[in-house]
Amino acid sequence: MKYPMQYCIQGCKEGDDGGAFSIPFEGRNLHVIASIGMGWDHVSVSLNQRCPNWSEMSYVKDIFFNDDEVVMQLHVAKKDHINLHPFCLHLWKPQDKEIPLPPNFMVG
C-alpha cells in the first residue's frame, strides 16, 4: 500500500503501520485512515454528512493502491456487522493472497 505523505495529518512515519489523511477531492475533504496489519491492507474513507460515493472511493483506491492491485469492499454477514461510523466505507486487500475474481465478461 502507498501512503500519500502530502495528505498526512497524523502518523505516516517510516515504520508506522498506518496513518490519518485528509484528501481533497472536488471541493471537499475525504477523511481517510490507512493501516497495515494482521495480513491486511485497510483504508477507511468517511465524510461528515454522507457515505462516500463510487468516484470518491475510486479516487482513494488510486491514491493508496497500484493500478494493477485488486481491492474490495465487503458486506459481511449481519451477525458480524459493526458500525462505528455511519458515513464510512472500507477498502481491503489481503497481503498474502490474490482476491478471486469472476470472469471479465461478468464484471463490466
Average pLDDT over every residue of 68-97 = 94
This prediction's pTM: 0.91
> Can you tell me the distance from the alpha carbon of 51 to that of 100, in angstroms, rounded to the nearest whole number?
26
pLDDT category of residue 14 using cuts at 50, 70 and 90? low
Write down the pLDDT at residue 11.
Answer: 82
Band of residue 13 on the pLDDT scale cut at 50, 70, 90? confident
> For residue 87, is pLDDT > 90?
yes
